[in-house]
Structure 1
Amino acid sequence: MSTFDALGLSPKLTKGLEKAGYTTPTPIQTQAIPHIMQGRDLMGLAQTGTGKTAAFGLPLLHRLLDIGHPPGPRNVRALILAPTRELVSQISDNLEVFTKGTPVKVVTITGGASIFRQSEKLARGADVLVATPGRLIDLLDRNALTLEMTGYLVLDEADQMLDMGFIHALKKIAKHLPMKRQTLLFSATMPKLIEDLAQTYLRDPIKVQVAPPGKPIEKIVQGVHFTPQGDKAKLLETYLKQHPGEMALVFGRTKHGSEKLMKLLVSWGFKAGSIHGNKSQNQRERTLNEFRDGTLDVLVATDVAARGIDISGVRHVYNYDMPNVPENYVHRIGRTARAGAEGKAVAFCAPAEMDEFKAVEKLLKQPIPVLGGAPWAMDAGAAAPRPGQNRGGQGRGKPMGQGKPAGQGKPKPQGQKPARPEGGTDAPRKAFRPRRSGNRSAA
């Protein structure tokens, strides 16, 4: 099927898609939409940037349009859960495009915004509610809404939700949902935990997969530069100066480290901003808008933004710190090469990050081309401080065969607290512990 009309969608939706410039469905949309319109539970596996929002959003909107009357007070007809504020905002923005000219009402709720105003919106009911799990539970506890009439549940980026520790929140929300419903689960990866989640929430689901889990977009040119942790900032400066005026996204591991790096880049004359869990929702949205409209050239972010940024102009992604979870590497670099464009991704690997780097190559099932330096010896990696930990007294690592014998580095200062992990106000208090667990093409 080569058009949205051929998928059987309502003319009210296809007209809006045509006005917005969407004419040809992506593979995940072509495969998923017919099954969802038939009422089947579905598990969709697709890499970032493949149009998953439209894959579940369009058929849901099609079915909601058939109802013909508004929802009751505090009632929600369709619930879409996503792990981060940025992703919730992205989904909501896409749905607003799809619903333009229709009576379908979309409500968005996330942490960091006024819970009183969100309660007021929900008092009038919602056809579609897009939410982060934490804030949804807060509103359920206040009896600001009811899910008793919710006939559709979508879990988007389910693997990241599990990685961020939302499994207990999902269980609590599920108790408020009716047993008779249509459930859709979308994920970029398929670890054992996602299989268990699907068995718990989905009934006889159809499985749709358009690319091997973890496989990055083919148009992304990847590379790794082996460098001591203390040399990363100057190396990043060198790379950024090679592409002046081009949009670059830089990923750090911790909130504090990312903020410090952003301020350093600004002091060097770069138009840089940052988003992470210590920023308020308004601050994060303002910074994203400035990055989107070109006011900023460089955005420094933690993994809270890895799947929530859909900006077609991003040409470069720099993994300043290697991710703890190898799948997050794919989601990070998927922020470039959007909507068919090309992009480049460079990873900076310090001695202590060799384990993480090897885990990424194992996931990709192929080596990442070396752009500079030489792979670190494992003994050098074992002795080096971790990114995001105390750097006072940190010795510089050496390439393979040049490391100092263990125990000859400077001792670490005592009494300093380790950097807090990213999570933001929507993260649960108790993190889910598993080690392992990426949209603008009509979404």
Structure 2
Amino acid sequence: MSIQIPRGTQDLLPGQTEIWQYIEKTAREICLRYQYKEIRTPIFEHTELFLRGVGDTTDIVQKEMYSFQDRGERNLTLRPEGTASVVRSYIENKMFGWANQPVKLYYIGPMFRYERPQAGRFRQFVQFGIEALGSKDPGIDAEVLSLAMSLYKELGLKKLKLVINSLGDKESRMAHRNALIEHFQPRIGEFCGDCQNRLEKNPLRILDCKKDHDHELMKTAPSIIEYLNDESRVYFDKVKQHLTDLEIDFVEDPTLVRGLDYYNHTAFEIMSDAEGFGAITTLCGGGRYNGLSEELGGPETPGIGFALSIERLIAALQAENIELPIKKGIDCYLVSLGEAAKDYNVKLAHQMRSAGITVEKDYQDRKVKAQFKSADRLEARYVATLGDDELANDKINVKFMETGEQVQLELATFVEQFKKLQA
């Protein structure tokens, strides 16, 4: 029996990888404008990082992590998300002492979660995310949202919906927590086992339950908005004012809680409204996580960020029938006629590539007609034909495939002449 790819993973083949490269290049260029610098953290971390950072009541920690013991009996986990790793690195490398504050970082890399594979969701998936650490200015909340929306719009997506909420500060969350416990306690037996376990530990997570989403108590649950203190209300109003000033449309949703324990104040999701995109519409999620640094043993550090799945982004592009402007084709295909010409073209291809020209040649001793067909498949803009006679006369024939125009160039100076021909 042949060995097949593990469930929930995918091979990205030529033709697909160019799409990924274009998206990643666009993301990096936008981060440069906003002055976010790339960070690369390990694929695996100590399991405790995610227990403390993500929260032991979350679905990620309880059900989805790939954890194992190494030969030294250390408990390790393939990273299920990026924020905890970035904050760990921020603390460990004492970035809080850097001259430029806040510290603005981005990452692109694979994450791992053991969940049911479905359209646009995989067990190994790639996230692009940003983290801004060291500022509690609501202006940077707006900046983070602006960066996310800019990426989607620059890639051509139009059917987007930004949903925001405030989870309040510690005082507001505690008041809301007590109200939720009082609300759900009398009938908690009607809920799933996960919700029953979360009632005392983190009742806010009950609102994010997929199994009991339609329970009548969900519809009447106390809203966090009702329990925001004055400071939290002023903060949230300021974020919304900034978004209005930036002409970024948004919808307020007091039921939005996000799935990770570390969020407070601003929380948000960006969704696709494209027809046929699927039942799960979320493209991107994030929010503010003041207190996470302290939870991981670092100094008091406010932070905010988001993460988005590249797979979900590509699915949204497909739903809106958007074709990215990816450069196709090659500059030149070298056709060889005769053994001496074939040998010479090995050197000529190297010279052209060294000069920045994209080149391919035949390596299968195909006939001339088959070589031209190969050039067509590769969408070569020019075909340069070299035979033994041309080689003897220090000449090479060049055909511009779009018009059929042909010229003969000196072989000794061909690379320089070809670059002029392209211009």
TM-score by length of 1: 0.22
Q: Which has the higher contact order (CA 8 A, sep 6+)?
A: 1
Q: Which has the higher strand share?
A: 2
Specify the structure having the higher radius of gyration (Cα): 2
